Amino acid sequence: MHPHHSCPGFSTPISVLGAGIAGTWQALLFAQAGCQVAVFERGDASMTQATSHWAGGMLAPFCESETAEPVIARLGLRSLDLWREVLPQTPFNGSLVVAHPRDRADFERFARLTGAHKRLGRDEIAALEPALDGRFSEALFFAQEGHVDPRQVLPALHGVLRSAGVPITFNARPGGGASDGLVIDCRGIAARDACPDLRGVKGEIIILETDEVALSRPVRLIHPRWPLYIVPRAGHRFLIGATSIECEDERVSVRSALELLTAAYAVHPAFGEARIVELGAGLRPAYPDNRPRVAVDDKQIIVNGLYRHGFLLAPALAEATVAHVLDGRTDDEVVRCM
């Protein structure tokens, strides 16, 4: 992007490709900054084609710092504020991390690598989550973390966009709409034609329904291979996630289903009686370094590589893009001028 774009009177129309979590936040913050924005989405309004449809929706900068680089926590913390501003009803009631005694060493490792937690004993666990009374002797509580239901929050944000005068065209033809002006490409894993080093990391989930268990916040169970979690949803539903597999098919394997269901059962045996509502998988779009990137050239901006953290990062990435385009300020950790 040349400096002539970096002026307060930016009048170039902006076309955002993709109405997943990345594109939605880009459109929102550019519209809030006074730009003329339109969104084009290949799929229909159900958004089932988007990786975002499959996400846990956890806004967990502290828990994620177990495996992610510091830039993720930095952007994530900023995003928490932006979520609060745009959707004040977003629940920020923390997340809980538990482990079985045999995974004690991994639990301590997790505690060491993450910050901002409080150690809870049995009584405190029961006070926060009565359903877990007597099930775990120790937990880590990350009080500042939040979570959203992607399948509710995407339509909600699309509603905010429409109220801000941003048209969203669903079932858009590839290449449709975006002829003049600035294009912000937020096509997720479908953007491989423009980003050859993008890969998909499969994440499988299962949705269960039971009124025998009630949880108020995400519960993570320490697991030697991937972070397993249970995220409560409306209607007595629970999302059990997620595997992390370097492969690009979108099927759920028997092994993964067994592991996810075993984890749920290990957190609470009443999940044994729950109804299986859905099994599914999404591909997390990732660059080789697993870091997000805002790639800027003369014609377009590509926002991609949100990997495991799309909901956590999208607001702050949008803010960084707006700052670059409108104010000429460049966040060197994420913005790359090509």
Ligand X SMILES: Cc1cc2nc3c(=O)[nH]c(=O)nc-3n(C[C@H](O)[C@H](O)[C@H](O)COP(=O)(O)OP(=O)(O)OC[C@H]3O[C@@H](n4cnc5c(N)ncnc54)[C@H](O)[C@@H]3O)c2cc1C
Q: Regarding beta strands 335-337 and 14-17, do their DSSP bridges make them parallel or antiparallel, or are they unpaired?
A: unpaired
Nearer to ligand X, 42 or 199 (CB): 42
For the chain, how many residues are written?
338
| The pair of three-digit structure tokens given for residue 334, joined into one six-digit string | 């994420």
CB 307, min distance to ligand X, A: 6
Minimal CB distance to ligand X: which residue? 20
Q: Does 308 bind ligand X (CB under 6 A)?
A: yes
CB 321, min distance to ligand X, A: 13
Give the number of other CB atoms < 10 A from CB of residue 188.
28
For residue 159, the SS3 value is: helix
The answer to whether residues 285 and 304 touch, using CB atoms and an 8 Å cutoff, is yes
Q: Does 284 bind ligand X (CB under 6 A)?
A: yes
The one-letter amino acid at 125: I
CB 17, min distance to ligand X, A: 4
Nearer to ligand X, 4 or 225 (CB): 225
| The pair of three-digit structure tokens given for residue 106, joined into one six-digit string | 């991994």
β-strand partners of 45:
none
CB 154, min distance to ligand X, A: 8
The answer to whether residues 189 and 51 touch, using CB atoms and an 8 Å cutoff, is yes
- Considering only 55, 75, 295, 325, the residue that binds ligand X (CB under 6 A) is 55
Nearer to ligand X, 49 or 330 (CB): 49
- Considering only 15, 26, 38, 54, the residue that binds ligand X (CB under 6 A) is 54
Q: Pick the piece of the chain touching ligand X (CB under 6 A) from 20-28, 99-107, 134-142, 155-163.
A: 20-28
Q: What is d(CA 240, CA 228) in angstroms, rounded to the nearest whole number?
A: 7
Nearer to ligand X, 124 or 181 (CB): 181
| C-alpha 119: how far from chain center | 26
Q: Does 20 bind ligand X (CB under 6 A)?
A: yes
Q: Does 56 bind ligand X (CB under 6 A)?
A: yes
| The pair of three-digit structure tokens given for residue 97, joined into one six-digit string | 């991390």
Q: What is d(CA 246, CA 300) in angstroms, rounded to the nearest whole number?
A: 29
**How many residues line the site for ligand X (CB under 6 A)?**
43
Q: What is d(CA 189, CA 284) in angstroms, rounded to the nearest whole number?
A: 7
Q: Does 190 bind ligand X (CB under 6 A)?
A: yes
Q: Does 227 bind ligand X (CB under 6 A)?
A: no
Q: Pick the piece of the chain touching ligand X (CB under 6 A) from 2-10, 91-99, 158-166, 278-286.
A: 278-286
Q: What is d(CA 187, CA 178) in angstroms, rounded to the nearest whole number?
A: 13
| The pair of three-digit structure tokens given for residue 280, joined into one six-digit string | 């599914």
- Considering only 1, 14, 19, 267, the residue that binds ligand X (CB under 6 A) is 19
Q: Does 21 bind ligand X (CB under 6 A)?
A: yes
Nearest to 264 by CA among 245, 251, 277: 277
Nearest to 232 by CA among 138, 148, 117: 148
Q: Does 52 bind ligand X (CB under 6 A)?
A: yes
- Considering only 205, 213, 296, 322, the residue that binds ligand X (CB under 6 A) is 205
β-strand partners of 16:
39, 184
- 147-186 positions binding ligand X, by CB under 6 A: 172, 174, 186
Nearer to ligand X, 120 or 183 (CB): 183
Contact positions vs ligand X (CB under 6 A)? 17-23, 40-43, 47, 49-52, 54-58, 172, 174, 186-190, 203, 205, 241-242, 282, 284-285, 304, 306-312
